[in-house]
């Protein structure tokens, strides 16, 4: 399980250091792709395979095709360089509006990479609703 918030910089070539605390969990080869809410997702290979299996089991609908085109077209296998950095492809850097300051967060089975400004906006927008979000999630799940 990934968790935590890490502040790193991305260089002009699209390279960013992956925190050493999470590298073992990702493995030597892992997947990076477009995420939701304007961030990037990093999945360990096993978690990625599980997601793809779930999508393959879904009926072939227009929504599935549209989502899979966007999700998979941005996906690429990553590996670390000698300094523990990954090279994020330019289309993904542009998608997430990554500039110098970035935030990497652990979210259960994956990591997310956010631009600092988008992450701060997300926190500012949602932080005061945290209690309501928790109440709705846990109340709905326990009363089912």
Note the pLDDT of residue 131: 79
In a domain, 135, yes or no: no
Q: How many domains does the chain have?
A: 1
In a domain, 72, yes or no: yes
Q: What is the domain range of residue 60?
A: 5-117
Note the pLDDT of residue 141: 61
Residue ranges of the chain whose pLDDT lies below 70: 140-144
The end-to-end CA distance of the chain, in Å, is 26
Note the pLDDT of residue 127: 79
In a domain, 134, yes or no: no
In a domain, 78, yes or no: yes
Q: Decide: 16 and 78 in contact? Cβ < 8 Å.
A: no
Neighbour tally for 39: CB within 10 Å = 25
In a domain, 143, yes or no: no
In a domain, 76, yes or no: yes
pTM: 0.89
User: Which CATH number covers residue 101?
Assistant: 3.40.1550.20
In a domain, 124, yes or no: no
């Amino acid at each position: 399980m990934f968790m935590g918030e890490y502040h790193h910089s991305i260089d002009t070539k699209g390279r960013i250091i992956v925190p050493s605390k999470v590298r073992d969990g990702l493995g030597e080869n892992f997947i990076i792709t477009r995420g939701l809410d304007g961030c990037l997702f990093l999945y360990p290979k096993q978690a990625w395979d599980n997601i793809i299996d779930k999508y393959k089991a879904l009926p072939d609908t227009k929504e599935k095709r549209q989502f899979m085109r966007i999700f998979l077209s941005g996906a690429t296998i990553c590996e670390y360089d000698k300094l523990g950095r990954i090279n994020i492809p330019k289309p993904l850097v542009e998608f997430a509006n990554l500039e110098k300051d970035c935030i990497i967060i652990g979210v259960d089975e994956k990591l997310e990479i956010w631009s600092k400004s988008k992450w701060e906006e997300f926190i500012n927008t949602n932080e005061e609703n945290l209690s309501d979000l928790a109440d709705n999630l846990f109340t709905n799940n326990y009363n089912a």
